[in-house]
A and B are shown apart, each in its own frame.
Chain A
Amino acid sequence: MLVAGVDVGNSTTEVAVARVEPGGEPEWLLVERRQTTGPKGSAECIHGIVELLFRAERRLGERPHLALLAELHPVETGLVEYGKLEELSLGRAAIARPASDTPSGSGVASGRLTRLDDLRSEPAAEDVVAVVCGEDFELAAGRLRDARERGWRVAAVIVQGDDGVLIGNRFDRSLPIADEMADAALLPIGSLAAVEVAEAGAAVGVLSDPLRLGLLLGFGPDEARAARTAARAVAGCRAAIVVRSAPSSDGRPSTDAPVMLVGHDGVGTPLDRLAEPPPPGQVVAIRGAAGDRSGLLDVVWRPLPSPADDPAFARTLARRRAVGIALLAEGASGDLVAALSEICRGGARIVGREPEAAMLGASTTPGASRTPFVVDLGGGTVDLHRTEGSVSTAGGGDLVTRICAGLLSSETPLAERAKRHRSVRVETPFTLHHEDGSRSFLGEPAPPSALARLCSVDGKALVPLPAPLAPEVWRGLRRAAKREVLGLNVKRALDAAGGVPRGELVLLVGGCAADGEVLDIVAAELDEHDVAVARGNVLGRHGPRAAVAVGLVLTFARGGAR
């Protein structure tokens, strides 16, 4: 009988197909995998499974008769930015924006926001900050010169397009002019605004100081928090603007605890972003900005790692106060079993739990026939399996990806590539700067889209990343993200299981174990336990992947079906 072991992970779905005859060992035919469709355990997962079963049918000329599944517990991962929540809850008493890196002039000035068109009227008796929206730079500079001659006190200029230097060169090179302000047309005309441009290579010093900013724009003592938030938003930028605007009426009071954790006793405690997560099983529900979820088995949160060797980026991160959160919930596989029963003639069955299946699958690694400790580094969880039982912890490769996406300010698929591959900075069309600080020279120029950018090296493709980081800094952050999530969870799982005897072999399986950097980090974390850490090679040819799918077939073949 042709059977398919189906492992639906949070990020990858794997299928191991074998011919199984009563009393015999399985004849392994193929292992296939693809990205999981929909949340783990949900009915949407069926699409990915069906695609893999059809793929198997095309290759083998026969559709698997029976699908074998494990009980599924889904994991959700998210990123909560405390800084952004606070900014929203302030009712926008101030608008703070970083400007482009090619401003004009230098210094700081403030005044009433005034449209370029309005400078044609009678001059006002106070300083103004002119706002240039769609006008051509020659026309804008001409109008500004004319306005000044007629008595307008133009203290600074805000420009919507990338025309700051062009306008400055034709009007006043010393005046602070901030440009590339995309929403310039939406700024509240008539409000008090401040513009600061630092010298090349420096960062704003007045607008990033809440006291000096408060004095400049006349924030009262009750608006100190608005000044602080505005100052934080522009810290580290070469050019910036801050506009004092009327607070909106729907401004909710700020809360210091946007995420609440609920324990077995039903008592909620605020999530402390910088604290260590409790052992698995202590938090049963979560409320607030990360969503409201009950029936939780584990909750893990990690703040974004901060680079010691890049103070400006460290400050940007500190301002965001972002935290990645993973929630492991109890799940039900009933829908999936019913849906799969319509695809396979023999139906679908839950033949066991993931831990036992993972151990059986891992034991097919050559030389590791009786491995007492298996660590499954998956997309959603890190699981420790041993004969006496297992421990599942929330947060695996997906949480690492989410943290990488938070660090890079990128979409998840890009972060997934950045997580897996080394990086370079394309310094010039012919020079690459590598993560170890070395340089290499190119015979042909690197593509323009990669120039002056941090890029992930995915095979021969250079994938530009949005963060302006040195490769050494990104390497440190990427490794820290892996250590913070996977290293931490391996330790949490070991602690919850009562540790590992010295000299024991710990076998790593799961998609994350295919990443050499992860292997390195987990081995380093386990150094103090004096254990041997090795990477699984399922069936001697699939590396650390497909342990659960293969294990499910073995469970069935050895009579473990329920």
Chain B
Amino acid sequence: MTEPLVLALLSDPAAAKALAAGFEEEDVPLTVEAGEGAPKALAREAARRALLGIGVGGDGERLALVLAGATTRPYLEAPASEARSFGHDAARIVARRPLRLSRRSRCARSRLPPSA
């Protein structure tokens, strides 16, 4: 079986439709599967399995996106109620387009990492 390009593992399916709609609008393929665990752990597992190294994890409360190259903390987080705009931004990370970033999204500070 071919591994997915981008994978979302969700322990609660409530956010799946809105998340997928965000990806679809951005024309980025997404595979959604059921999983068990906390959003960050699910996202880490999804990033490990996804061919593009970008994984989404979520439960009924929160969504998290993890990059396979930096798994210690999520690259992007948002409440599950904002699954649609989170989906847009997650897809834009894949497609390398500027993010929209809703006010309730949490992401790393705008600092250049020490190695830059």
Contacts and interface: CB of A to CB of B under 8 A. Distances in A.
Contact of A451 (B21, B69, B96): B96
A296 B114 CA distance: 50
A169 B27 CA distance: 10
A429 B99 CA distance: 12
Interface residues of B, number: 30
B70 interface: yes
Contact of B114 (A165, A440, A443, A468): A443
A464 interface: yes
A451 B112 contact: no
B5 to A, nearest CB: 15
Contacts of B107: 447-449
Given A447-B108, A447-B111, A450-B110, A162 B101 contact: no
Contact of A457 (B69, B76, B112): B112
Interface string B88-108: 110011001111010001011
B101 A448 contact: yes
A137 to B, nearest CB: 7
A446 B113 contact: yes
Interface string A408-425: 000000000000000000
Contacts of B26: 102, 165
Interface string B76-95: 10000000000011001100
Interface string B1-40: 0000000000000000000010011110000000000000
A contact patch SS: mixed
A442 interface: yes
B44 to A, nearest CB: 14
Q: A428, A440, A445: which has the most chain B beta carbons within 10 Å?
A: A445
B110 A444 contact: no
A244 interface: no
Residue in B25, B93, B107, B111 with the greatest tally of chain A CB atoms within 10 Å: B25
A461 B69 contact: no
A539 interface: no
Interface in B37-83: 67, 69-70, 75-76
Interface string A494-534: 00000000000000000000000000000000000000000
Contact of B70 (A165, A429, A441): A429
Nearest to A165: B25
A263 B105 CA distance: 57
A440 B116 CA distance: 7
A448 B111 contact: no
A442 B24 contact: no
A435 interface: no
A165 B20 CA distance: 12
Given A429-B75, A430-B69, A432-B116, A451 B93 contact: yes
Contact of A452 (B21, B96, B109, B114): B96
Q: Which 8 A-B pairs have the closest CB atoms?
A: A444-B113, A443-B115, A448-B107, A447-B108, A452-B98, A447-B110, A165-B25, A460-B112
23 contacts: A163-B25, A165-B26, A428-B96, A429-B70, A430-B69, A440-B116, A442-B113, A442-B115, A444-B113, A444-B114, A445-B69, A445-B108, A446-B113, A447-B108, A447-B109, A447-B110, A448-B75, A448-B101, A448-B105, A448-B107, A451-B93, A461-B111, A464-B98
